[in-house]
Amino acid sequence: MDRQSRSRIRRKKRRRDRLIALAARHADWLVGFADETWWSREARPALHAWTATGQPLRLVEVTVPAADPAPKALACYGVWLPECDATWLRFVDGRPVSEVTMQFLAWCAQRAAALGKTTLVLIWDRAGWHLSRRLWAWLRQHNQAVQRTGGGVRIIPCLLPTQSPWLNPIEPKWIHGKRRIIEPDRLLSLEELEDRVCDAFACPRYQHLAFPKNVC
């Protein structure tokens, strides 16, 4: 953060706040705070807990066996919607990239349309796949199609300053979610991991997003 101008951070924060205030004046607008994370089967989050004996809870170090075909971690897209008090999640086969991000945004637009919304204000960080030319070209085409046809949900992206997780309220939700799904003394299967994540966020499991096979 020391490399960034404080005035620049404030300016970008003001844009975020203006969009949130504008959305509050339009019943058909929806604000979402988006981000991606990895749910690891091995990594143990920092936590504190009480035990019956008064002894501290100790997490057993676990590793995925070499013969286990399932990945060690699972990538996930999420968007926190304060108005709905809900988080929409989609797991990913592979890692977040521009093409998969387009799939996620199209899915979010469909869900927002089902709620009767016409505009989705999407606030997120400056990950590489959020800044790609391909993604921004897709956003322009998507919004132009919405305007031309008069149907669907336009997407207004808002990029946060670099290294400013406190401006995105989905960040602490990831932290609390990883503490809630932890198993102290054994390795979770991939299916158990997904089930626990979905239970933690009270959302259904959907088919995984994946990189399109016909895209080079």
At which residue do the structure tokens 């203006």 appear?
Answer: 18
Q: How far is CA 204 from the centre of its chain?
A: 15
Q: What is the pLDDT of residue 52?
A: 63
Domain ranges of the chain: 6-41+70-86+93-206
The tens digit of pLDDT for each residue in 157-166 reads 999 988 888 9
Residue closest to 80 by CA, chosen among 175, 188, 207, 208: 175
pLDDT class for 23, splitting at 50, 70, 90?
A: very high
Token pair 């205030």 in the structure block, residue: 21
Give the pLDDT confidence score for residue 153 in this predicted structure. 98
Level-2 CATH architecture, domain 6-41+70-86+93-206: 2-Layer Sandwich (3.30)
3-state secondary structure of 21: helix
Q: What is the pLDDT of residues 138-161, one digit of tens each?
A: 999 999 999 999 999 999 999 998
**Mean per-residue pLDDT of the chain:** 87
Helix (H) or strand (E) holding 90: strand 86-93
pTM of the model: 0.84
